[in-house]
Structure 1
Amino acid sequence: MNLALWLERIAQISGERPAIFRGAVQEYNYAGFYRAAQGLAGALAARGIGPGDRVALFMKNCPEYLLGFFGVWGLGAAVVPINAKLHAREAAYILENAGASLALVTDDLGAELQAVTNVPLISVEGQAFSQMCAADPIAFAPRGDDDLAWLFYTSGTTGRPKGVYISHAMIRAASMSYLLDCDEVSPDDAVYYMAPMSHGAGIYAPIHVAKGARHITPASGGFDEVELLETAQNQGPLQMFMAPTMVRRFTDIAKSLGRRGEGIKTIVYGGGPMYLADIEDAVSWFGPRFVQIYGQGECPMAISALSRDDVADRTHPRWRERLASVGRAQSVVEIRIGDEGGAPLPTGEVGEIMVRGVPVMPGYWNNPEASANTLKDGWLMTGDMGFLDEDGYLTMRDRSKDVIISGGTNIYPREVEEALLTHPDVQEVSVVGRPSEDWGEDVVAFVVPAPDTTLDEAALEAHCLSQIARFKRPKAYFALQELPKNNYGKVLKTELRKLLA
C-alpha cells in the first residue's frame, strides 16, 4: 500500500483541519496539503518521472519537505532525503549513487550543489515549485508493500555512505509501532520538526498525517530552545524527536529560564547514548514527558522502546537499571543477543544486538556485499553491543567498533562516560581508545568542561577511581570547547580518533 493514501484518506474526512505550519503561520489545511501533493505528483509525472524513480530532497526543515514526501510517494516514486549538513560534493555522490532523476532543494543548499552535479534541481522557494504544486492533480499511484519508499544514506563514517532500502511496509510498521510502543497521537496534537526531517523525525511524519495532527516546522528552521518553549506554550500539545545532546541542551536552557516545558506532550529521544545523569535531570525538571527509542537506518526507529512510565518511574527496585537501558523490543520486531557467529547468548551476557521483523531492510541499495555482511539468516547484525535482562530490557554497551580492548580486556566507553558525567565540572564527554604498545589500547577522554570551570585531571582521576575499576579509568584527558557531532547529534568518534592521530 502506498503511504500517500494516508494523506488522501485524512483529507477526505478532515480536509478543513489545520495541517502544515511555518512557525505560527498556517500554510495548508489537509485539503490544501492533499491538493498540493497531487499537483506536485502531476508535475513530476509531466517531467517523465514515474513509479520506482528516485527524487532527492536536499533541504533544511521546512513545510515543503512534507509536500516533497507525499507528492513523490503519490507519484509512486521514492524519496532520497539528504542530510542538510553534508558538503555539496557529498550530496552529489548520493544523487549519483541513487540514480536520482531530480532534486528538490532550498536555495542555500542548491546553489553549491548546482556546480557539482548534472541532476536537475528545483528550488522549493521559487515560483517553479509553487506552479508544480498547483499543476493538474493526478490520482495517487498504487504501490506494493515491498516497493521502495525512502532511500536513506548512512552517515558514511567508515567510508562512502550506503543507501538503505526502506519500503512502504517498513515505514508503516514503524508507524504502527509508534502508536503501540511510544505514544498516542491525537488530531489535537502537533508534531514539531527540529531534528532533521532527513532522518528519524521525517520517518514519524506519516503516522501524524494519518491521525490528522498538525505539522510545525520552526520559523528558525532548526533547534532553538527558546523558540521551542514559546511554540509549545502557544501551539501545544507538541510531540517531537530529539537526540540526547538536544535533550541536555534544552534542559539546561529551560532550567536557566525557569520554564517547565508547558505545552510539551512528548519528547521521543534516541539516535545516540542518553546518559543516565542527563535523563534523570530532564525528568526531574520537565516531568513524565519522555520516551526513548532505539533504531538504526537499517531498522528505522523500530528496534526497542522505553516507555514514558519506565522513564519516569522511581519506585521499581531496579528503576535505575531500566532507565539506563533502551527499553524492550518494539511490537513489530524480535531481538536476540548473539555471539560472533550470531548464535544466541544467555540472558545477561554481552554480545551483538540482532533484530528481525518487518521494519528491517531487505538490503543496501546496489550493494550486495555489504548486505550479505549485515544480514544473516534474516537477522540484522546491528554492530551494537548489549545484553538483555530477565524482563526483556535491552542495555547497550557500545558499538562493537568502539569497544576498547586494553590488556586483553574489553572496556566499554559508555561506562566510563557515565562515570565522568556524574562529576559537576563535566558538561559533555566522549571516550575512545588510543593505540598503546604496552596494552593494545589506552582509554582516553575528550571532555567539554562545564561553564566557568577548567579541566582538572587530578579531580577527574579521583572521581573515576571512586566510580569504576582502576583499569577502566582514562589514561589521558583532553579539553574541547565542543565535541564533533553530525546533523543528528551523534558524537563523531572517528573525528576524535583523527585528533589523537
Structure 2
Amino acid sequence: MDLATALRWTTERYPHRRAVGGPAPMTYAAWDARTERYAHALHDLGAVEGSRAVFMLQGGEPLATLHLAAQKARVTSLPLSTRIGTAELAYCIGDCDPALVAVDEHNYDLVVGALAMIEDPPPLVWAGHPDHAPAGVPSVARAADRAPDTTVPVSPRADDISVMLYTSGTTGRPKGVPRTHSAEHHAALAHLVQTGHGPGEASLGVMPLFHTMGLRTLLASVLSAGTWVPQARFDADEALDLILTEEISALYLVPTMYWALMQDDRLGEARSVRNLAYAGASMTPTLARRLVEAVGPDRFVNHYGSTEIYTFTVGPENISKPGCAGRAGLFSRIRLVDPDPDATPDQIVPEGERGQVIASLESPEAFAGYWNRPDADAKAIRDGWYYTNDLAVADEDGDLWVSGRVDDMINSGGENLYPEEIEHALAASPDVQEVIVAATPHDKWGQAVTAFIVGRPEDPAATTLAKVEQFARDEAGLPSLKRPKRYVVVDQIPKSAVGKILRRRLTAGEFETLADTEEGTPL
C-alpha cells in the first residue's frame, strides 16, 4: 500500500478523531484536507510527479504536513537535518537534485548559504511563518490557500520512492537512503506490532522526521488512527508538559532523551504512559531500571535497526533483560558472521561467539541500495545481505546482545575489548551522569581503553575522576584487562542531531578536557 492511500483510508474510518495534538489540534478530516491542498501546492510550485523536494524545517506539524503532502503528490520527501553544516547541506542538495527546497525562518540563512555553493541551485520556497516570508520567495501556504478542495489526481505506487534520508557523514560523505512507500508502510506495521502500539494511541512526535524513528512514530499514528502530538524541538520540560496534559501513552525515543526526562521526578506522574520503546543507541541497564521504577510500563521495547532496514531485531523484554536486543523482527532475518570485512554471509560464527550482524534485504522494510553510491553498496551489500558493521552475541536463549561497532572494537595489548560492556559497568556509579568508552593511542598497549565521563554538576572534575576510577577498581566487577587505562572528565558527550553518540569524535581527540588521569594534576 502507498502512504497517501493509508492516510485517506484512516480518515474515512475516523474523520472526527483527533489526528494532531498539542496547541493546534486537527481531526483526521482536517489534516487530510490540509495535506491535499499542500500536495496541490507542491505541484503548483514545480515539484511534479516523480521529482524530489527538500524540506528544511525545524519540525512539528508543518514538516509532517509537507511530508504527507509529498506522498499524495507522488513526490519524494527529503527532510534534511537542521544541524547539518553548510557545505554538507550543499552536497546533499546537489546530490539529490530536487525540484525545490522548502525552508522556514529557523533555517533560511543556512539554506541560502548552501544554495550559493551550488552552480545551478533549485528554487527556494517559503514554508515558515507567513509574517516572516522573505520578499520574492514563493510561499507554500499561499499556494495551498489557492488550491482546490479536491483529491490530488495522481496515484502513487507501492514501489515509488516515498522518502530519502541521508545518513550521518561522520565517516565520510552522507549517503542517501531511498525508501519506497511499501517499505515505509511495512516498517510502520512492524512498529505497531513490535511495540504493542494500539489503536488510538497518543504518541509524542519529537523525534525529527529526518530520522527513521521520527517517521515511524508519525506513520504508526496514521495507520492506527492515533494522535500524534508534535514537539518541534526536544526540550525536556516542554516534553513532560505534553506527556502529562496530552495523556501520552506511547514514547519512542533515543536513550539520551529518556535520560533528560528522568532528571525530573515528573515522569513518574505520567500514569497514561504504558508503552516505552527506544532505538538509535544502547541503553544502560541502570537507566532502564530507573525508567521501569518511575513509569511501570506494560511494555518496554529495545528496537535495533537502521535507516536502511528499519528492523533488525526487537527486544520486548527490556524490563527483565534490560539492554537485550532480542530476536529478528516481524519482517526480518539476521545472521551473525565473522567480523572480518570480507566475510561471506555463510561464514556464521559458532554458537556463543561474537560476530557481525547482517540482515536480509528480502525484508519488505529494506531499501534497495544507496542513492548514486555504488561504492557504498559494494561495502555494505553482499549476496542479498546488508552488513551492519555492528557486533553482537546471542545468549543461551537465542537473544541478541549488541556490543558496539566493528570499527569501535578496542584492541588493547592484543585483546579485543568491547566498549558497551565496560560502559554498562561504569554507568552504575552514582557519580556518573554519562559515560562513553573509546580507544585512544597508547605506546605500550597500542590502544588504551579510555572512559569519557560526565560527572554530577555539583562535583569538581577531580572528585569525579577519583571516585569513578575507584568504583571501576573496587565495585564495577570489571577484570583488570577491561578496566580503563585512562579516565577523562568532559563537559559533554558529543552527539548527533537525534542524540546518537559520536564515539569517533572522542577517538579523534575532539573533546574539552576537565580532568584527565594522563595529566598529573587534574582540574
TM-score, length of structure 2 as denominator length: 0.88
SS in 2 for 1:25: coil
Paired with 1:222 and 1:43, the residues of 2 have a C-alpha distance of: 26
Q: Which residue of 2 aligns with 1:100?
A: 98
Q: 1:310-350 CA distances to partner (integer Å, 9 max, x unpaired)?
A: 1223xxxxxxxx32311221110011101121311122210
- Counterpart check, 1:29 vs 2:27: yes
Q: Which residue of 1 aligns with 2:324?
A: 325
Paired with 1:415 and 1:99, the residues of 2 have a C-alpha distance of: 43
Paired with 1:68 and 1:287, the residues of 2 have a C-alpha distance of: 36
Q: Which residue of 1 aligns with 2:348?
A: 344
**Residue 361 of structure 1 is aligned with which of 363, 367, 379?**
367
C-alpha displacement at 1:376, in angstroms?
1.1
Whether the aligned pair in 2 keeps the contact of 1:191 and 1:208 (CA below 8 Å) is yes
SS in 2 for 1:145: coil
Paired with 2:241 and 2:367, the residues of 1 have a C-alpha distance of: 38
Q: Which residue of 2 aligns with 1:124?
A: 127
Paired with 2:510 and 2:79, the residues of 1 have a C-alpha distance of: 33
Paired with 1:182 and 1:175, the residues of 2 have a C-alpha distance of: 11
Whether the aligned pair in 2 keeps the contact of 1:384 and 1:398 (CA below 8 Å) is yes
Runs of 4+ in structure 1 off by over 4 angstroms are none
RMSD: 1.9
Paired with 1:469 and 1:250, the residues of 2 have a C-alpha distance of: 33
Q: Which residue of 1 aligns with 2:408?
A: 402
Closer/same/farther in 2, CA of residues 329 and 407 from structure 1, 3 Å limit? same
Please give the residue correspondences for 1:138-149 in structure 2 after superposition, counting only pairs within 5 Å.
Answer: 138-139=151-152, 141-149=154-162
**Residue 244 of structure 2 is aligned with which of 223, 226, 233?**
233
Paired with 2:175 and 2:96, the residues of 1 have a C-alpha distance of: 10
C-alpha displacement at 1:431, in angstroms?
1.0
Paired with 2:332 and 2:371, the residues of 1 have a C-alpha distance of: 22
Q: Which residue of 2 aligns with 1:292?
A: 302
C-alpha displacement at 1:87, in angstroms?
2.5
Q: Which residue of 2 aligns with 1:318?
A: none
C-alpha displacement at 1:291, in angstroms?
2.0
**How many residues get paired?**
483
Closer/same/farther in 2, CA of residues 258 and 433 from structure 1, 3 Å limit? closer
Q: Which residue of 2 aligns with 1:377?
A: 383
**Residue 481 of structure 2 is aligned with which of 467, 471, 474?**
471
Paired with 1:158 and 1:112, the residues of 2 have a C-alpha distance of: 22
Q: Which residue of 2 aligns with 1:162?
A: 175
Please give the residue correspondences for 1:89-488 in structure 2 after superposition, counting only pairs within 5 Å.
Answer: 89-117=87-115, 118-127=121-130, 128-134=139-145, 135-136=147-148, 137-139=150-152, 141-187=154-200, 189-199=201-211, 200-218=213-231, 221-254=232-265, 257=266, 259-288=268-297, 290-300=300-310, 302-307=311-316, 310-313=317-320, 322-339=321-338, 340=340, 341-342=343-344, 343-356=347-360, 357-454=363-460, 455-456=462-463, 457-466=465-474, 467-488=477-498
Matched AA of 1:281: R
Paired with 2:46 and 2:205, the residues of 1 have a C-alpha distance of: 31
Paired with 1:398 and 1:133, the residues of 2 have a C-alpha distance of: 47
C-alpha displacement at 1:399, in angstroms?
0.7
Closer/same/farther in 2, CA of residues 133 and 500 from structure 1, 3 Å limit? closer
Paired with 1:480 and 1:274, the residues of 2 have a C-alpha distance of: 20
Paired with 1:84 and 1:93, the residues of 2 have a C-alpha distance of: 14
Q: 1:266-307 CA distances to partner (integer Å, 9 max, x unpaired)?
A: 23211011111111111111112532211111112x111122
Q: 1:13-59 CA distances to partner (integer Å, 9 max, x unpaired)?
A: 322222223x3331x32122111211122222233322321111111
Gaps of 5+ in 1: 314-321
C-alpha displacement at 1:260, in angstroms?
3.0
Q: Which residue of 2 aligns with 1:316?
A: none
C-alpha displacement at 1:435, in angstroms?
1.7
Q: Which residue of 1 aligns with 2:68?
A: 70
Matched AA of 1:364: Y
Q: Which of 11-20 and 451-460 deviates more?
A: 451-460
C-alpha displacement at 1:258, in angstroms?
7.7
Q: Which of 207-216 and 223-232 deviates more?
A: 223-232
SS in 1 for 2:184: helix
Paired with 2:434 and 2:173, the residues of 1 have a C-alpha distance of: 28
TM-score, length of structure 1 as denominator length: 0.92
Paired with 2:257 and 2:294, the residues of 1 have a C-alpha distance of: 15
Closer/same/farther in 2, CA of residues 414 and 140 from structure 1, 3 Å limit? farther
Whether the aligned pair in 2 keeps the contact of 1:5 and 1:140 (CA below 8 Å) is no
Q: 1:169-212 CA distances to partner (integer Å, 9 max, x unpaired)?
A: 2111211111221122322x222112212211123312211221
Whether the aligned pair in 2 keeps the contact of 1:37 and 1:133 (CA below 8 Å) is no
C-alpha displacement at 1:74, in angstroms?
0.7
Whether the aligned pair in 1 keeps the contact of 2:323 and 2:401 (CA below 8 Å) is yes
Matched AA of 2:377: S
Q: What is the percent sequence identity of the aligned residues?
A: 27
Matched AA of 1:195: M
C-alpha displacement at 1:140, in angstroms?
5.6
C-alpha displacement at 1:485, in angstroms?
0.8
Whether the aligned pair in 1 keeps the contact of 2:286 and 2:428 (CA below 8 Å) is yes
Matched AA of 1:97: D
C-alpha displacement at 1:126, in angstroms?
4.0
Paired with 1:157 and 1:225, the residues of 2 have a C-alpha distance of: 27
